């Protein structure tokens, strides 16, 4: 067999000769030039991108607002207004992601959301519960650790690092995700006047959040920016990321009362304002109140949807204690089932727990602390004593609950 002349070797795809190509790669009876390799790589990348886009569209099964609210109702008691607002915001986010924008079509803007409510009313629980039903990456971050760039703490870009981790570093999926920023009130401006110096964890962080909330390309450190300074950055576009923000905004009731020309305690000033509910001033909150509290107008403008959570009364606390799918009582019953012990509560024990939680003014979080104080000795002793005494039922009476509560230090939490 005669040896093939190098001048006769050509690309098997485009036919270019070896002399006219920068590089010709040999295979099993075939050759390919550098230009065909580059073109094939571009075709492959585009095809993979389209397949990933189609798979994301398939995964984004629309969950209707009523279905989202029904899911929330299983875990969160009350707060119907906030549930409806969150359900609609998430549903519109899905529709926005499924939208195919043409030249003449109206582009739907994302509706970032801010939730205001007292501590222990369920802001974070709502966010966690929504995450269970979503088909998009979801993460919860805390605004209290954020600082201006160059200071000790986390940069604002670390928010997107958490979302990347939730999406398993799939950038395309992360760019369609949802982020819940908790404790947004902790980055409020420290004074009424605009800061002319550094406001390390206040106004400066709000300014840094603006570009992310609005939508831009951000270079994100995949492992955090401080500990790994030499890592390769990942570019993330935030235009399709939905932001939910929550905060207690402690003290904003006085600003709402001043705007309504009334008082948080005492008599109202005008007869026509008799319909003002002084026990729940949060329902009257407006963006102006957030501005007076310390959020800058630019940030408020990027959080156009505002909702509130109602304060919890005793009846609601009792429902929270017993009714939800993962209520505290059901959790304790499940824990004792692992020990083959049936846990039974008297109804007046529930009322005792609710009354003490109401005194502590900690919202739903106080319920867990009181239950732990009552159940601690039983959870400590029964795993051992049941083998000796063959115990199969633990009956919690009111006297037992009062006795265990009196022995604990939690009673010192009482707020006058």
- Domain range enclosing 377: 314-413
Please check whether residue 287 lies inside any domain of the structure.
yes
Single residue among 289, 308, 327 that ends a domain in this structure: 308
pLDDT value for 211: 87
Please check whether residue 244 lies inside any domain of the structure.
yes
My answer on whether 391 and 372 are in the same domain is: yes
My answer on whether 102 and 179 are in the same domain is: yes
Please check whether residue 362 lies inside any domain of the structure.
yes
Question: Which candidate, 295, 296, 130, 141, places its Cα nearest to that of 220?
Answer: 141
My answer on whether 166 and 267 are in the same domain is: yes
Question: Which candidate, 305, 308, 329, places its Cα nearest to that of 317?
Answer: 329
Rounded to an integer, what distance in angstroms lies between the CA atom of residue 89 and that of residue 226?
A: 34
My answer on whether 190 and 339 are in the same domain is: no
pLDDT value for 194: 57
Backbone torsion region of residue 379, taken as left when φ is above 0, otherwise alpha when ψ lies between -120 and 50, otherwise beta? alpha
Question: Which candidate, 306, 254, 246, places its Cα nearest to that of 281?
Answer: 254
pLDDT value for 23: 86
My answer on whether 39 and 84 are in the same domain is: no
pLDDT value for 332: 94
pLDDT value for 374: 92
My answer on whether 301 and 319 are in the same domain is: no
Tell me the pairing of strands 217-220 and 242-247: unpaired
My answer on whether 66 and 199 are in the same domain is: yes
| Average per-residue pLDDT for the chain | 82
My answer on whether 132 and 191 are in the same domain is: yes
- Helix (H, G, I), strand (E, B), or coil: what is residue 195? coil
Please check whether residue 197 lies inside any domain of the structure.
yes
pLDDT value for 181: 93
pLDDT value for 1: 39
pLDDT value for 113: 92
- Residue 32, strand partner residues: 25
Residues in the chain: 416
My answer on whether 324 and 295 are in the same domain is: no
Please check whether residue 94 lies inside any domain of the structure.
yes
Question: Which candidate, 411, 280, 279, places its Cα nearest to that of 357?
Answer: 411
**What is the CATH classification number for the domain harbouring 359?**
1.10.8.60
Rounded to an integer, what distance in angstroms lies between the CA atom of residue 397 and that of residue 96?
A: 54
Q: E strand or H helix at 113, and its extent?
A: strand 113-116
Contact 86, 113 (CB under 8 A): yes
* Residue 14 annotated as lining a ligand binding site: yes
Q: Within a 10 A sphere around the Cβ of 86, how many other Cβ atoms?
A: 24
pTM of the model: 0.74
pLDDT value for 120: 80
Single residue among 256, 286, 308 that ends a domain in this structure: 308
Please check whether residue 1 lies inside any domain of the structure.
no
Rounded to an integer, what distance in angstroms lies between the CA atom of residue 166 and that of residue 160?
A: 10
379-388 pLDDT, tens digit per residue, is 998 877 765 5
My answer on whether 359 and 341 are in the same domain is: yes
Contact 12, 32 (CB under 8 A): yes
Q: What is the mean pLDDT of each run of 10 residues along the chain (416 residues)?
A: 59 85 84 90 81 55 87 90 92 82 72 89 87 84 78 78 89 89 86 56 82 88 64 86 91 86 55 66 90 91 92 90 90 91 92 89 84 91 70 88 85 52
**What is the CATH classification number for the domain harbouring 276?**
3.40.50.300
My answer on whether 115 and 230 are in the same domain is: yes
For the record, the structure tokens of 152 come out as 């000790």
pLDDT value for 416: 43
Q: How many domains does the chain have?
A: 3
My answer on whether 284 and 262 are in the same domain is: yes
Please check whether residue 378 lies inside any domain of the structure.
yes
pLDDT value for 58: 46
Please check whether residue 277 lies inside any domain of the structure.
yes
Calculate the alpha carbon distances from 197 to 148, 186, 281 in Å: 12, 18, 34
Single residue among 308, 327, 362 that ends a domain in this structure: 308
* Residue 11 annotated as lining a ligand binding site: yes
């Amino acid at each position: 067999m005669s040896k093939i002349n190098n001048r006769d070797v050509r690309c098997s795809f485009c036919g270019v000769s070896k002399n006219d190509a920068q590089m010709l790669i040999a295979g099993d009876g075939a050759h390919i030039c550098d230009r065909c390799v580059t073109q094939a790589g571009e075709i492959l990348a585009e095809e993979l991108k389209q397949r990933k886009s189609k798979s994301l569209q398939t995964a984004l099964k629309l969950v209707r607002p009523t279905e989202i609210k029904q899911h929330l109702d299983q875990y969160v008691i009350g707060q119907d207004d906030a549930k409806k607002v969150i359900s609609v915001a998430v549903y519109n986010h899905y529709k926005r992601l499924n939208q195919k924008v043409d030249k003449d079509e109206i582009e739907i803007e994302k509706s970032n959301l801010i939730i205001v409510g007292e501590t222990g009313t369920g802001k974070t629980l709502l966010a966690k519960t929504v995450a269970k039903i979503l088909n998009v990456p979801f993460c919860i971050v805390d605004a209290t650790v954020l600082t201006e760039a160059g200071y000790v703490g986390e940069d604002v870009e670390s928010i997107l690092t958490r979302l990347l981790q939730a999406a398993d570093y799939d950038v395309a999926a992360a760019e369609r995700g949802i982020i819940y920023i908790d404790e947004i009130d902790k980055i409020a401006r420290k004074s009424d006047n605009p800061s002319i110096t550094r406001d390390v964890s206040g106004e400066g962080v709000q300014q840094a959040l603006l570009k992310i909330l609005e939508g831009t390309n951000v270079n994100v450190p995949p492992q955090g920016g401080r500990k790994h300074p030499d890592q390769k950055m990942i570019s993330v576009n935030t235009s399709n990321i939905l932001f939910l923000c929550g905060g207690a905004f402690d003290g904003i009731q006085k600003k709402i009362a001043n705007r309504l020309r009334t008082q948080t305690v005492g008599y109202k000033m005008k007869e026509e304002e008799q319909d003002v509910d002084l026990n729940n001033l949060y329902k009257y909150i407006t963006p102006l109140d957030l501005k007076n509290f310390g959020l800058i107008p630019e940030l408020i403008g990027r959080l156009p949807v505002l909702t509130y959570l109602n304060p919890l009364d005793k009846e609601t606390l009792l429902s929270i204690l017993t009714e939800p799918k993962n209520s505290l009582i059901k959790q304790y019953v499940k824990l004792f089932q692992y020990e083959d012990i049936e846990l039974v509560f008297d109804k007046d024990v529930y009322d005792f727990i609710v009354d003490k939680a109401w005194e502590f003014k900690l919202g739903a979080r106080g319920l867990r602390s009181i239950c732990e104080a009552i159940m601690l000795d039983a959870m400590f002793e029964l795993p051992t004593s049941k083998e000796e005494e063959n115990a199969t039922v633990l009956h919690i009476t009111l006297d037992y609950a009062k006795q265990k509560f009196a022995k604990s230090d939690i009673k010192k939490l009482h707020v006058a």
